[in-house]
Amino acid sequence: ETKQRKPGKVGRALNTFFLYRKAHMARAMELTHTQFPKGHPRRTMQMILKVVAESWRLEPRAVRDSFQKLAAIETKNHQLAFPTYKYNPRTKGTKR
């Protein structure tokens, strides 16, 4: 889940869906494991993420709102921890 970053590189604050995904990833892996045992060609990270995305769409508004509040807290804490941080997206031609 976590990418290797350059030392000193600050990542973005997690948004609503990423917080949900982080909280539900283990459960989604269990579900896909029961449907597709380890080594099965359809048991990939892409399939696991599809399970998480589908469950996110089915969540009631109250659950989604709770993750929205968590994301706001995450953003606030990120701003406090890294006050000079500025998101700098790569353009299409920019290499890593």
Kindly state the percentage of the chain with pLDDT values over 70: 82
Tokens (6 digits) for 80:
């406090």
Position 41 scores a pLDDT of: 65
CB 49 within 8 A of CB 21: yes
pLDDT at residue 37 greater than cutoff 70: no
Position 57 scores a pLDDT of: 96
Position 1 scores a pLDDT of: 44
pTM for this predicted structure: 0.73
Position 78 scores a pLDDT of: 95
